[in-house]
Structure 1
């Protein structure tokens, strides 16, 4: 079965942030079409844009999947919905946010999906944890994640701890 490597960004800033991120990882890990490769440490980040809101917990994970990009995004939205995610305020606070950052080397956009994520290159809460799990990472159409991270503002991303988020063992 053909698989594609994808990178997902996880974030939460309402309720039990850690439980939401761990719950998302658990749900992804239980999907037979998904094999999680690596998970970053947990990071705390200040909100970017939008209304005043609490700080976020963020993490990045890499996975292999036999799902299409649209199917993976739909699975991510189902997990968000199970954590009562609402989409009423653009860049508003959320119980859980799962963004599809890359899907292999695919560069694609339609009304539902854009990969790579259109703002990934300017978001430290994506770039810093991604470099932790893959120092040689490349963002399709943008280049080296290390280079992108070096050119972005610093200080807004703080590592909370290592291995606070774990993959379930079989």
Structure 2
């Protein structure tokens, strides 16, 4: 069975755009994963730990028959490849790749919670997600209504328009 999976990507260290594009190219290279849609890139204010630079954020839609834990391992491997360090919670990072939704599945394990527990509270996640999600609702939550309740809406600005055709690197 193929699952439609939504991912959120963010970077705020060094060449932020390059990290996002490298991560997408690496996701594209995972066996049994097809990259179906990507959002534009948005520049956003940091949330949580605010003593850091602005982020570039985007969303991606993939299709896979892999189990969620297997996909998570691949994504963590990409973060490691791109030199992600986990020093400060919500702190600076070369790349962050979060699984937002996995088909209609819900689960909560020590390593992975789906749907992502804070996705409906963050405009920097919802604005890119709305670009690529054909559904008005995910997990029974209206995406537009959730976005309207987000206090960080004004801190999300279009940084660059991008399409899958702009990807041409290798992982």
The normalised TM-score by structure 2 is 0.92
Partner of 1:144: 142
Distance 2:64 2:148 in 1: 30
Distance 1:125 1:160 in 2: 12
Partner of 1:96: 95
Q: Alignment partner of 1:155: what SS?
A: helix
Where does the alignment leave 5 or more consecutive residues of structure 2 unmatched? none
Q: Alignment partner of 2:162: what SS?
A: coil
Q: Do structure 1's residue 126 and structure 2's residue 125 form an aligned pair?
A: yes
Deviation at 1:138, TM superposition (A): 2.4
Distance 1:84 1:124 in 2: 26
Q: Do structure 1's residue 47 and structure 2's residue 79 form an aligned pair?
A: no
Distance 1:168 1:40 in 2: 16
Distance 2:137 2:7 in 1: 14
Q: Alignment partner of 1:60: what SS?
A: strand
Residues 39 and 132 of structure 2 are in contact (CA less than 8 Å); yes or no, is this contact kept in structure 1? Answer: yes
Deviation at 1:9, TM superposition (A): 0.2
Distance 1:44 1:69 in 2: 28
- Note the aligned Cα RMSD (angstroms): 1.6
Deviation at 1:164, TM superposition (A): 6.3
Partner of 1:16: 15
Q: Alignment partner of 1:67: what SS?
A: coil
Listed as ranges, the matches of 1:19-98 within 5 Å are 19-98=18-97
Residues 41 and 162 of structure 1 are in contact (CA less than 8 Å); yes or no, is this contact kept in structure 2? Answer: yes
Distance 2:71 2:145 in 1: 28
Q: How many residues align?
A: 167
Report runs of 4+ in structure 1 exceeding 6 Å deviation.
Answer: none
Deviation at 1:43, TM superposition (A): 0.4
The normalised TM-score by structure 1 is 0.92
Where does the alignment leave 5 or more consecutive residues of structure 1 unmatched? none
